[in-house]
Chains A and B, each alone.
Chain A
Amino acid sequence: MSKHHVTTTLNGNAVEFLCDTQQTLLEVLRDELHHTGTKEGCGTGDCGACSVTVDGRLVCSCLVLGVEAQGKSIQTIEGMAQGTSLHPLQRKFLEHAALQCGVCTPGILIAARALLARNPDPSEEEVRFWLAGNLCRCTGYNKIIEAVLDAAHEMRGS
């Protein structure tokens, strides 16, 4: 059985991998490229834990085939901090205690970054609706929403 040879860009770096057609981008990221920061919560696009961006577009990596990554630019949680400097969202999530178990956190950070790239000054309601595709069972969302709003505020000021 022959595999696909896929060339793509992951967090700015050129990478290549082999995959079967049915392997999802999530499986490729985790099992082939050993980027396990992107989590599987459901495998059906209902929880957002596997959120990544493909050519800047926010998607669930469990609903993308690995082979579709050919020639694309993939961004995952592992590429969010610049070296040792955390992204403001990452910092605000820590300051606001916006994670308890933390397993939904990578997906939420990726989703929140995509929101702020498009709307630097979202209302609380806009944040809540944008993040509706990211389930968190620990926090009740309070501190996540607060952290996103605070990060947006800081990013607008700088």
Chain B
Amino acid sequence: MNEILYETPQTLESAVALLAGASGQARVLAGGTDLLIQMRAGRVMPGLLVDIKGIPEMTAIVAESGGFRFGAAATCMELIEHEAFAKEWPGVTDAVKLIGSIQVKGRATVGGNLCNASPAADSVPALIAAGAVARIVGPGGKREARVEDIPVGPGKTSLADGEIVISFYLPPRSARSGDAYLRFTPRTEMDIAVVGAGVNLTLDETGICNQARVSLGAVAERALLVPEAAAALIGTKVDDDALQRLAAAASAACRPIADKRGTREFRIEVAGVLARRAAGIALDRARRNS
């Protein structure tokens, strides 16, 4: 019978050492909302679980250098309930709100959402659009990576063996900027994104968009940063024409599969619709944030 060891390190160093020293398959346990299901189904049979929720850096939500840093193992509910964070990053917050039920969000973490590497993860496109940077620790020490560089395909990340995502840094929020995330699901809740779209944009004093990032989820093997879609906004007043070009660029960037959740054609078309609608919300937020 497969015995599973369970450890609760209190420091990053000991967590890294436990992972490095494991003889069999070791898994980081944060919220467990994906891992426990995979274990129950027999898809994952680890010999060691490293529960990292006791490590302070991994659960804190703090202001840092004008921006925010939040631990990869902070629960979604803790993030949603952080009023200052939600005010600065409403799009990221909206995305986190969409991760499962209240019950699931009471356990699930953004770090887990990223490292589970589902192409449909809701928080990932929003973080990519926001320009989030992940701090990572491993046997080789600490490093930083842009969120878009971490997932590489379904269930696969660019993290090396034994690496752990510690936290995420969101840069200072500039004036006249706003973000938004929308997803499409057949039900209003309790669903996996068929398409997700995150937009983060900044306006200049005249209302012209001078910075934008657009990211799409569930339309490729991983969440995509779509510079072509952002380019459709930059230099415009984010008017209807720009939004239509954005939608077309977003649809053009899609390379989805057809599966039980949606067809290719549907995903491609709706990706444009959602990117356009998300940009409209981000625009409203940017205008109010002046």
Contact = CB atoms under 8 A, between A and B. Distances in A.
Query: Are A and B interaction partners?
Result: yes
Interface of A: 1, 4, 20-22, 24, 43-46, 48, 51, 54, 57-60, 62-65, 67-68, 111, 114-115, 129-130, 132-134
Interface stretch (B1-9, B135-143, B260-268): B1-9
B189 interface: yes
A40 to B, nearest CB: 11
A133 B32 contact: no
A21 to B, nearest CB: 4
Given A63-B32, A63-B33, A65-B6, A58 B189 contact: no
B6 A21 contact: yes
16 contacts: A1-B1, A4-B6, A21-B49, A45-B33, A45-B103, A51-B103, A54-B106, A60-B101, A63-B36, A63-B103, A65-B6, A68-B51, A115-B102, A130-B102, A132-B188, A133-B103
Contact of A64 (B1, B107, B189): B107
A44 B37 contact: yes
Given A58-B106, A63-B33, A65-B6, A133 B77 contact: no
Contact residue range for chain B? Answer: 20 to 34
A63 B102 contact: no
B215 interface: no
A134 B33 CA distance: 16
A140 B30 CA distance: 34
B3 A1 contact: yes
Interface in B93-110: 100-104, 106-107
Contact of B101 (A22, A68, A132): A132
Contacts of B4: 20-22
B166 to A, nearest CB: 20
B17 interface: no
Nearest to B36: A63
